[in-house]
Amino acid sequence: MKPPLVIAVDGPAASGKGTLAKRLAAHYGLPVLDTGLLYRAVGQKMRDENRDLDDGAMAGDIASRFDAAWLDDPRLRERKAGEAASRVASVPSVRLALRQFQQDFARQPGGAVLDGRDIGTVIAPFAPVKLWIDADVAVRANRRYRELVSRGEDVTEAVILADLVARDARDAPNMAIAPDAIRIDTSAMDVEAVFASALGAIKGRAA
């Protein structure tokens, strides 16, 4: 019997990994988890409770009470939630508290797609398919800028670029490229090309 298809899609913010993960999940009929939402949910709770985002103990305490219902909050897609997420995500107790939920998702009997930063290395190192999706930071900033503007946020591209540079630096300790990951640089690719490239790579590995 074939092992379940588990696809780990990792990479920096706005690299296109979320879009790709959703496309792959639809293609293979698999459930998909955007793991960034878990960190955003903890960050958002910190904001809602007026906590200092640098209070790691409090962030760990909130993460230990994590409830999947928190993921339905539409505010999690906003820029401020992303910023708060990257602050709390550097706290080891937060990462540990959110681990089991992600691992249970990855271990579903029928397989799963997860996108994040450490899926292929920490959450699901057993995944038969690991993708590392990256793009030039200026390209990522332009994509994120357009996405946020289409959601009605009042931002400039320069501010988003600065956000991403800071975010990359903060996320670096928890972003690791698995040695067996297939790397795709999406800087000069559109969504369709990224999907086709990933499918080709996956066919070579697993499906």
Cβ proximity to ligand C5P, 134 vs 171, nearer residue: 171
Q: What is the DSSP string of 58-88?
A: HHHHHHHT--GGGGG-GGGGSHHHHHHHHHH
Q: Check residue 118 for interaction with ligand C5P (CB under 6 A).
A: yes
Tell the smallest beta-carbon distance from residue 99 to ligand C5P (Å). Answer: 10
Q: Check residue 163 for interaction with ligand C5P (CB under 6 A).
A: no
The Cα angle at residue 22 between residues 18 and 27, in degrees rounded to 5 = 145
- Using alpha carbons, select from 135, 198, 191, 145 the residue that is nearest to residue 168: 135
Burial class (CB in 10 A: 0-12, 13-18, 19+), 173: exposed
State the CB neighbour count (10 A cutoff) for residue 106. 23
Q: Check residue 116 for interaction with ligand C5P (CB under 6 A).
A: yes
Tell the smallest beta-carbon distance from residue 17 to ligand C5P (Å). Answer: 7
Among 6, 59, 85, 194, binds ligand C5P (CB under 6 A): 85
Among 5, 89, 106, 137, binds ligand C5P (CB under 6 A): 89
Number of residues located near ligand C5P, criterion CB under 6 A: 15
Cβ proximity to ligand C5P, 13 vs 137, nearer residue: 13
Q: Check residue 174 for interaction with ligand C5P (CB under 6 A).
A: yes
Q: Could you tell me where the beta strands, DSSP code E, fall in the chain?
A: 6-10, 32-34, 112-116, 129-134, 182-185
Binding site for ligand C5P (CB under 6 A): 13, 35-36, 39-40, 82, 85-86, 89, 116-118, 167, 171, 174
